[in-house]
Amino acid sequence: MRASDIEYLARPDGARLALKQVEGQGPVILWVGGFRSDMEGTKALALDAAARERGWAFVRYDHFAHGQSSGNWRDATVGRWCDDAAALVDHLTETTGRTVIPVGSSMGGWVALNLTLARPAAVRALLLINPAQDFTERLMWPDLGPERQKEVLEHGETVMPDEGLGAYPLTRTMFEEARTRMLPEGPLPIRCPVHILQGRQDTSVPWRHQLPLVEALEGADVRLDLIAGGDHRLSGPADLTRMVEAVERLRSI
């Protein structure tokens, strides 16, 4: 069992999504990364290793304007990321004939939830890690503060510092478009099993952010693990083991 070289999924506008696959059996485990993260992160690589060791079919990819995928960051939107995820799942189901188990981390959890709403027959189960559904409106916008909010509204963007990856803009377009992808009010028509791993010490996505989601998933088998001492990354050895075992459990359902 080996991971393939990088592949690309072409999109209608000429953009390309970079992805890597591990051949294996059963449903396709699909890594859906977070905001400004890529498919070479700790959790994605841990799943890649587990897939090779355990014989899983596994795919990890980079969102538009992330990692090795093409795209200008200022053109990136939540809707774009959601539509790309749906296109990738369409490609996987058409080429493999299998269902998928998305593993959505942070913003990737929001994308994975939208994916499940858009392609319910294709999603066998769902694993969410500190999911940040509706984060642009519920979390990011309030945290910007009045000065940066004013910059976005009056000048169309504000530039955020990032010592690791470099400064980046947050655009008014992104915030406005994201409202069209917020989860609908009331019960969510998601029927597949859902497992949520949430750090109690997560300061980016507070654990109480998951309570409305759990309540809305009234038609699904939902498990919420609140991890004492867990931060937003959940990338320590115990966290990675917990994630891998959660995937194994969902594969067996």
Q: List, for residues 206-248, the tens digit of each pLDDT value.
A: 999 999 999 999 999 999 999 999 999 999 999 999 999 999 9
Q: Report the pLDDT value the prediction gives residue 238, as an integer from 0 to 100.
A: 98
Residues 104, 125: Cα–Cα separation, whole Å: 11
Model confidence at 3: pLDDT above 50: no
DSSP character for 137? I
Q: Report the pLDDT value the prediction gives residue 158, as an integer from 0 to 100.
A: 98
β-pairing verdict for 126-129 and 168-171 = unpaired
Reported as a single tens digit per residue, the pLDDT across 49-96 is 999 999 999 999 999 999 999 999 999 999 999 999 999 999 999 999
CA distances from 121 to 85, 93, 99, 105, 152 (A): 15, 10, 8, 21, 39
Instruction: Note the helical H segments in the chain.
Output: 42-54, 78-96, 107-118, 135, 141-155, 172-178, 211-216, 237-252
In CATH terms, is domain 7-133+185-252 a member of 3.40.50.10420? Answer: no
| Rg over CA atoms, the chain | 17
User: Torsion angle of alpha carbons 18, 24, 26, 31, nearest 10°?
Assistant: -30
Reported as a single tens digit per residue, the pLDDT across 129-143 is 999 999 999 999 999
Q: Report the pLDDT value the prediction gives residue 2, as an integer from 0 to 100.
A: 40
User: For the residues 6-31, what does the mean pLDDT come to?
Assistant: 98
Q: Return the bridge partners of 159, or none.
A: 169
Q: Report the pLDDT value the prediction gives residue 5, as an integer from 0 to 100.
A: 87
Q: Report the pLDDT value the prediction gives residue 110, as an integer from 0 to 100.
A: 98
Q: Where in the chain is the domain with CATH 3.40.50.1820?
A: 7-133+185-252
Reported as a single tens digit per residue, the pLDDT across 156-197 is 999 999 988 889 999 999 999 999 999 999 999 999 999 999
DSSP character for 171? E
Cα 48 from chain centre: 16
